[in-house]
Amino acid sequence: MKRKVLAATSLLAAGAMFLAGCTASPQKSVPALGNEGPGTGTVNFLGPEDPATFAPVIAAFHAKNPDITVKYSQVPFDQLNSTLQQRLGAKDETIDLYTVDQPRVSQLAAQGFLEDLSDLKDRTKAAVPEAQFSVNIYDGKMWALPIWNSTQLLFFNKKALDAAGVKYPSSDPTERKTWEELVTDAKAVQAAGTKYGLLLEQVEAYYQLQPLAESAGGGPGITGDKMLTVDITNAGWEKAMQWYSDTFSSGLSPRGVGGFQTSPLFTSGKVAYFVGGPWDVGGFSKSNIDWGIAPMPYFEGGSKVTPTGSWSWGINPASKNKAAAKKFLEFASLDPAGNLATTAATTIIPANGAATEQYLPKLEALGGNKTKGLAQLIAHENSESAKPRPVSVGYIQFEEIMGKAFADIRNGSPVNDRLKQAAQQITDAWKQL
Amino acid sequence: MRPARRRRRASPAVIAAAFLAPALVSLLVLRIAPAAVALWESFFRESLLRGGSVFVGFENYADLFGNADFNNALLVTLVFSAVINPLQIAVSFLLAVLYTRRAAGSKIWRSLVVLPIAVPPAVSAVVWSVVYRPDGLGNSFLALLGLPSQPFLSSPQQSLASIMVLLSWIGVGYWMLFLIAGINDVPGELYEAASLDGASAWRKLRSVTFPLVRRPLAFVLVADTVSNFLVFAPVQILTKGGPSGSTNLLMYDIYTRAYTLGDLGKAQAEVIILVLLTLVVVAVQFRLLRSSDSE
C-alpha cells in the first residue's frame, strides 16, 4: 500500500513539476552593449524565411562588398518571436540583424531590442511609401527599415459570375465596388450554384479586418496620445462587425474554415469572391480555374481603405558589428537593386518605391490575362488607400484579443457584447504594461 | 612509510547516492528548480513601460480570481476533466476486455485502436480539423446516416465535446494497453472456477476481472487525469480557446497569458494554481482508491 502511495506521489509530483516548467523566465530590458565594429567581416542575420529567399540579396551585396559576408540563419515563424525575446533579452551578440514584424516594432523598441536608425529617416522617407515609413517610427525615432510591403485584392471566379450573369468587377480603382454591392452580387452567384459567395483569406486576422472598421468610420481601434486607449465599441466598428457577422450567418461565407484552408477553397471553384494578397497571384496562376482581380471593396459612404505592411529589418543593439550590418540593411532597403533582390525568389511587394515600380509589371505578367491592371492597381493602393496597423506598444495584446473576438463574431456571438468584452480584455491586458 | 593497504569501502548509502545522482540532479534542475522559479515569479509583476519587475505579493492571484477569462478557463477545465476522464477510462477498459478475448482478428483490431498513439498530437489535430470542417468528413458521415450537418468546432455548445472526441481517439488506445497487460495477468483458473460456479460473462467481468485489474486501473486513472490537465496542442491548433472561451483550458490560458499577452507574473501564478488543482484532484482519487482497498 505504502509503495503504491509513494509511486503515485512521485508520478503526481512529476506531472506537477512538468506543468511548472512550462513557462520561461521573463526578459529584462537591457542597455545596449555592442559597438560599431570594423565595418567588415561577418554579419549574422536571423529571420523566418527559407534561406533560398535571401540568397539573391546576400549574393548581390557580397558582389559589391567583398569584405563583408552575410550569414543567414532561419528560425521557423512560429518560434521567431519567442526566440528573439530570449536571445535579444540575453544580449546575444551573435545576432547582428533580424527581421521585424512591422506591428511589433514599437514593443521591440520599448524593450531596448532595436538600434536607433533615426539618422536614416530622411533617406527612408524619400525611398518608401508613407505607410512603410511611419510604421517604423516609435517615440519620434526610427527603429527599423522596411523591406517588404503588401496589400489586398478582390479575386473573383469568372465561371461562377458568368453562370449567374453577374458582370465582372473592374480592376480600375476608380470603379471600386462597395461591400453592399458585392454582397448583392455574391448572393446572386451563390443562388446560381456556387457554394460560397464571399471569403476573406485571413478570416480572423486584424490585418485583413481593420479596413472594414476603418471604412465604416470606426478607426483602427486604438487611440490616445500613448496609443493605449482601446476604441472598438464605436458605431463604425459595430457596423463593420455586424456586416461581417451577417456574411457568415447568411451562409454567404463558410464557418469552421481556418485561415490556411481558404485559398484552396477558391482554387477548387467553390467561392465566387475572394479577398487575398498578391502572394496568391502565383498560386492561383497554377490552378485550373479562370479568375480576375479587382480593388478591395469599401462601405458605401465610407472611406476607401486597404491593408498594408509586412516585414522590416532591424539591428540588435548588442551587436559587435553594427556598421557592417547597417551597410547591408541600407542596401536591402534603400538601394532599389538590393530591395528588388529580396523579392527575386518569392512573390511579395518590395517596400522601396523604385523597386516596386520595376517589380509590379513582372508580377502582373505572372498571371497573364487574368491580372491585367494589377501593377497599376497595387501602385494605387500603396499610395492612396493603404492604412498601416496602429503603432502601439500594446499592439501584440490587442491583435491577439481581437483575433479571438473576430473568431467568435464569425461564429455568431452577439457583436456589441463581444466587442465590449474584447475592449475590457484589452484594457486589462494593457494595465500590466 | 608504506601506504596504507586497507582499501576504503564506500558505504552502501554513498554508492546508492552515486547511482541515484544523475536522476536526482535532473529532477532538481529540470523539475524542482523551474517549479520554485514559477512560485517565486508569481509574486512579481513585470512592466515593459516602467521597466523592471515589482514585488506584488498575492496580487497576481487576486487579479486572476477577479478575471472573467480565468474563471471561465477554470470552469471549462473542471467540466472537461469531470467528463473526459471517466469516459476515456470506461471506453479503454471495455476495449481492453474486448481485445483480450480470443476472437478472429482481435490482434489486428487492437493494433488499429493503438495506431493513433504513433501520430503526434499536432498532426492528429490537423487530421481532425478536416473531419470537423463544415464540408468535412464528419458532416459527410452524418449525411450518409440521414442526419443534419453539425457546426462542431464553430459552436460553443459542441466545441469542447469535439475536442474530447479527438483526444479520446488518441488516448483510449494508449490507456487500453496498460489495462490489457493487467487483464492478461489475471490467472485463467479464476475464470474457470467462476464458470464452474455458473457465473455469467457480466458477473465474471464484475467479480473477477474488475477487482484484479484495480492496480493498473488506478495508475491509468491518475496518469490520465494528469495528462488531461495538460492538454494544449489541439486547442492551440483547432479552436484557440474559442468559440466564446468554450475550449479555453487552463494550459492554453497559461500559454496565452505568458506568450501572447506577455503577462508572465500572472501566467506563473496560474501555473501554480493548476499544479495545486492537479494535486488536490489526484489526492482525492488516491483517497477514494485507498478506502476501497481497505474494505
* pTM for this predicted structure: 0.80
Confidence of residue A54 (pLDDT cuts 50, 70, 90): very high
Residue B6 lies in a domain: no
Identify all chain B residues contacting A258, using CB atoms and an 8 Å cutoff: 129
CATH of the domain at A17: 3.40.190.10
Last residue of a domain, one of A346, A375, A404: A375
Beta-carbon separation of A5 and B286 below 8 A: yes
Residue A4 lies in a domain: no
Residue B189 lies in a domain: yes
Query: What number of residues does chain A have?
Result: 433
Residue A181 lies in a domain: yes
Beta-carbon separation of B49 and A110 below 8 A: yes
A140 or A396: whose pLDDT is higher?
A140
Residue A40, number of CB atoms within 10 A of its CB: 15
Minimal Cα–Cα distance from B134 to chain A, Å? 6
Identify all chain B residues contacting A428, using CB atoms and an 8 Å cutoff: 67
Q: Does residue A219 share a domain with residue A282? A: yes
**A255 burial class (0-12, 13-18, 19+ CB within 10 angstroms)?**
buried
Q: Does residue A166 share a domain with residue A277? A: yes
Beta-carbon separation of A8 and B266 below 8 A: no
Residue B284 lies in a domain: yes
Question: Quick one: pLDDT at residue A299?
Answer: 97
Beta-carbon separation of A258 and B37 below 8 A: no
Chain A and chain B share a number of CB contacts under 8 A equal to 158
Beta-carbon separation of B34 and A21 below 8 A: yes
Identify all chain B residues contacting A230, using CB atoms and an 8 Å cutoff: none
d(CA A149, CA A132): 7
What range defines the domain where residue A160 resides?
Answer: 153-307+391-430
Q: Does residue A168 share a domain with residue A117? A: no
Nearest CA in chain A to B54: A432
Residue B43 lies in a domain: no
Q: Does residue A361 share a domain with residue A340? A: yes
Phi, psi of A406 (to 5 degrees): -60, -40
Say if strands A97-101 and A41-47 run parallel, antiparallel, or are unpaired.
Answer: parallel
What range defines the domain where residue B212 resides?
Answer: 66-294
Is a pLDDT exceeding 90 seen at residue A188? Answer: yes
Residue A337 lies in a domain: yes
Instruction: Look over chain A and give the mean of its residue pLDDT values, rounded to a whole number.
Output: 89
SS3 A145: strand
Minimal Cα–Cα distance from B69 to chain A, Å? 8
Question: Quick one: pLDDT at residue A89?
Answer: 80
Residue B144 lies in a domain: yes
**Predicted confidence (pLDDT) per residue in A87-126, tens digit:** 888 889 999 999 999 988 998 998 889 999 999 999 999 9
Beta-carbon separation of A12 and B129 below 8 A: no
Mutate: best of B232, B260, B295, partner A, most A CBs <10 A: B260
Q: Does residue A426 share a domain with residue A285? A: yes
Is a pLDDT exceeding 50 seen at residue A176? Answer: yes
Which of A256, A396, A407 comes nearest B151 by C-beta?
A: A256
Q: Does residue A131 share a domain with residue A40? A: yes
Residue A396 lies in a domain: yes
Residue A8 lies in a domain: no
Which of B34, B46, B152 comes nearest A20 by C-beta?
A: B34
d(CA A97, CA A319): 8
**B65 burial class (0-12, 13-18, 19+ CB within 10 angstroms)?**
exposed
- pLDDT winner (highest mean) among A14-23, A59-68, B5-14, B172-181: A59-68
Three cell numbers at B40?
517565486
Peptide bond before residue B243 is cis, with ω within 30 degrees of 0 = yes
What is the share, in percent, of chain A residues with pLDDT greater than 70? 92
Select from A232, A248, A264 the least CA-distant residue to A402.
Answer: A232
Question: Quick one: pLDDT at residue A14?
Answer: 44
User: Total domain count for chain B?
Assistant: 1
Confidence of residue A63 (pLDDT cuts 50, 70, 90): very high
Question: Quick one: pLDDT at residue B4?
Answer: 52
d(CA B73, CA A397): 18
Question: Quick one: pLDDT at residue A360?
Answer: 92
Residue B49 lies in a domain: no
Which of B32, B215, B219 comes nearest A17 by C-beta?
A: B32
Q: Does residue A277 share a domain with residue A411? A: yes
Residues A45-74 have a mean pLDDT of 95
Last residue of a domain, one of A375, A406, A421: A375
Beta-carbon separation of B215 and A4 below 8 A: yes
Residue A153 vs residues A179, A284, A414, B149, B261: alpha-carbon distances, Å: 13, 13, 29, 33, 31
Beta-carbon separation of A29 and B243 below 8 A: no
Is a pLDDT exceeding 70 seen at residue A15? Answer: no
Is a pLDDT exceeding 80 seen at residue A354? Answer: yes
Confidence of residue A153 (pLDDT cuts 50, 70, 90): very high
Question: Quick one: pLDDT at residue B53?
Answer: 79
Beta-carbon separation of B262 and A397 below 8 A: yes
Three cell numbers at B209?
476481472
Q: Does residue A216 share a domain with residue A196? A: yes
Is a pLDDT exceeding 60 seen at residue A386? Answer: yes
Nearest CA in chain B to A407: B243
Q: Does residue A95 share a domain with residue A17? A: yes
> Do residues A411 and B154 touch, judged by C-beta distance below 8 A?
yes
Which of A23, A400, A413 comes nearest B267 by C-beta?
A: A23
- Which of the residues in chain B have pLDDT under 50? 1, 294-295
Residue A381 lies in a domain: no
Residue B290 vs residues A4, A153, B282, B293: alpha-carbon distances, Å: 10, 66, 12, 5
Minimal Cα–Cα distance from B180 to chain A, Å? 20
Q: Does residue A182 share a domain with residue A142? A: no
Residue with cell string 514585488: B55
User: Total domain count for chain A?
Assistant: 2
SS3 A131: helix
Residue B39 lies in a domain: no
CATH of the domain at B85: 1.10.3720.10
Residue A44 lies in a domain: yes
Q: Does residue A314 share a domain with residue A303? A: no
Which of B45, B152, B282 comes nearest A256 by C-beta?
A: B152
Residue A184 lies in a domain: yes
Identify all chain A residues contacting B132, using CB atoms and an 8 Å cutoff: 256
Is a pLDDT exceeding 70 seen at residue A3? Answer: no
Question: Quick one: pLDDT at residue A25?
Answer: 40
Identify all chain B residues contacting A256, using CB atoms and an 8 Å cutoff: 132-134, 151-154
Q: In sequence order, what are the residues at sequence separation of 6 or more whose Cβ sits closer than 8 angstroms to the Cβ of residue B107?
A: B99
Beta-carbon separation of A413 and B244 below 8 A: yes
Q: Complex ipTM, two decimals?
A: 0.74
Minimal Cα–Cα distance from B29 to chain A, Å? 10
d(CA B136, CA A265): 12
d(CA A97, CA A118): 16
Is a pLDDT exceeding 90 seen at residue A229? Answer: yes
Residue B22 lies in a domain: no
